[in-house]
């Protein structure tokens, strides 16, 4: 029977550990504060931001919410970020993406002080990861490493294939697996013989944004499959990038959707907020 990697359970364990750590910091007089900025009122973003605030409350992190109007100018947003960069009582700054079209996302990300970049999106954070220096790590791939480790799945020396090369998931995922001493292949939409490449994987991480794209023809017997996708199918049910029912009989471990990778992302954001204290020392 394949192991079903329970992201809900693992993220709860992690959040409880972080809650303890935050309580210890409080006893030493250290309070952690996260500033969350949302521009406009995109429905999905409001749900994510709400969940981030709830997680902060649970763990004991103070959150400052900045809900800005859709028509906020780039200058106004950048000046708020610069003000938060200066504030000693703010440890983390998160600007919820996507931003309205008139705002340059790269410019916004680069304006956040890299020492407060709890999303791990700043070029300094990305660079630090690639050369093995201390810095913030993008939450979803960081969460996947945590899922593998806490499920006792060995990464060292394993053949890993990451399908997808986004800046937020695919690329940092490959860097993190490499840091754990895996042999890593990054596959993408131009990869020839994707099935054959995926079939080499002991650990297959799928982040391509296509519902149920990966079926058993892409998976080696006994592989570990990590599904980053989340979609709603015709019946309004959630599904991932992996055809779970087709793949399940062939794997040794797999993440479900929902309840796999998803719950880890916010837990790792909380971990980054706690890590901020060390990074800022």
- 212 assigned to active site: no
Q: Residue 182 or residue 208: which is nearer to ligand GUN going by CB?
A: 208
Secondary structure class of 201 (helix, strand, coil): coil
CA distances 253 to 3, 153, 267, Å, are 4, 9, 21
Q: Closest CB to ligand GUN among 94 and 163? A: 94
Distance of CA 163 to the CA centre of its chain: 16
Q: How far is the CB of 97 from ligand GUN (least distance, A)?
A: 4
- Contact status, residue 166 vs residue 173, Cβ threshold 8 Å: no
Among residue numbers 104 through 143, which ones bind ligand GUN (CB under 6 A)?
119, 139
Minimum CB–partner distance for residue 210 and ligand GUN (Å) = 18
- For the question of residue 89 being annotated catalytic, the response is no
* Cβ atoms within 10 Å of 249's Cβ, excluding its own: 11
Site for ligand GUN in 137-176 (CB under 6 A): 139
Is 119 tagged catalytic? yes
> Mask: binding to ligand GUN, 238-267, rule CB under 6 A, as x and -?
------------------------------
Least distance from ligand GUN to the Cβ atom of residue 71, Å = 20
Q: Of the listed 117, 119, 227, 243, which one is catalytic?
A: 119
Of 6, 15, 38, 52, catalytic: 52
Question: Judged by CB under 6 A, which of 56, 68, 81, 94 binds ligand GUN?
Answer: 94
What are the residues whose beta carbons fall under 8 Å from the beta carbon of 37, sequence distance 6 or more?
66, 68, 77, 80, 81, 93, 94, 95, 96
Applying CB under 6 A, which of residues 38, 91, 96, 272 lies at the interface with ligand GUN?
96
Q: In whole angstroms, what is the distance from residue 253 CA to residue 3 CA?
A: 4
Q: Which two tokens stand for residue 89?
A: 């009582």
**Which among 91, 94, 82 is positioned nearest to 121, based on CA atoms?**
94
Q: Is 98 or 157 the residue whose CB approaches ligand GUN more closely?
A: 98
72 lies in the site for ligand GUN, by CB under 6 A? no
If you count them, how many residues does the chain have?
A: 281
Name the residue with tokens 């008139």: 102
User: Would you state the structure tokens that stand for residue 87, as one six-digit string?
Assistant: 């504030």
Q: How many CB atoms lie within 10 A of CB 137?
A: 24
Site for ligand GUN contains 225 (CB under 6 A): no
Instruction: Give 46 or 185: the residue with its C-beta nearer to ligand GUN.
Output: 46
* Residue with Cβ nearer ligand GUN (36 or 223): 36
Q: Which residues of the shown chain bind ligand GUN in the complex (CB under 6 A)?
A: 94-97, 119, 139
Residues with a catalytic annotation lie at 52, 96, 119
């Amino acid at each position: 029977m394949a192991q079903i990697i329970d992201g809900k359970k693992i993220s709860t364990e992690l959040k409880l550990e972080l809650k303890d750590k935050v309580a210890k910091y409080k006893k030493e007089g250290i309070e952690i504060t996260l500033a969350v900025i949302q521009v406009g009122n995109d429905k999905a973003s409001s749900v994510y931001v709400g969940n981030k605030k709830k997680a902060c409350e649970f763990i004991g992190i103070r959150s400052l919410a900045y809900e800005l109007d859709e028509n906020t100018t780039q200058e106004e947003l950048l000046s708020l970020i610069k003000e938060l960069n200066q504030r000693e009582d703010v440890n983390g700054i998160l600007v919820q993406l996507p931003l309205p079209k008139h705002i340059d996302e790269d410019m916004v990300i680069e304006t956040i002080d890299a020492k407060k970049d709890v999303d791990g999106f700043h070029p300094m954070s990305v660079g630090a990861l690639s050369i093995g220096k201390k810095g913030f790590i993008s939450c979803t791939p960081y969460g996947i490493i945590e899922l593998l480790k806490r499920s006792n799945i060995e990464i060292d020396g394993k053949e890993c294939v990451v399908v997808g090369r986004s800046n937020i998931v695919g690329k940092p995922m490959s860097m993190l697996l490499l840091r754990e001493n895996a042999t890593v292949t990054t596959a993408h939409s131009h990869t020839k013989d994707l099935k054959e490449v995926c079939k080499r994987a002991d650990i297959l991480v799928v982040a391509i944004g296509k519902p149920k794209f990966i079926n058993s023809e892409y998976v080696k017997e006994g592989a570990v499959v990590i599904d980053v996708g989340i979609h709603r199918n015709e019946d309004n049910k959630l599904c991932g990038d992996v055809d779970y029912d087709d793949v399940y009989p062939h794997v040794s471990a797999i993440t479900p959707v929902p309840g796999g990778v998803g719950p880890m992302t916010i837990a790792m954001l909380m971990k980054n907020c706690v890590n901020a204290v060390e990074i800022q020392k």
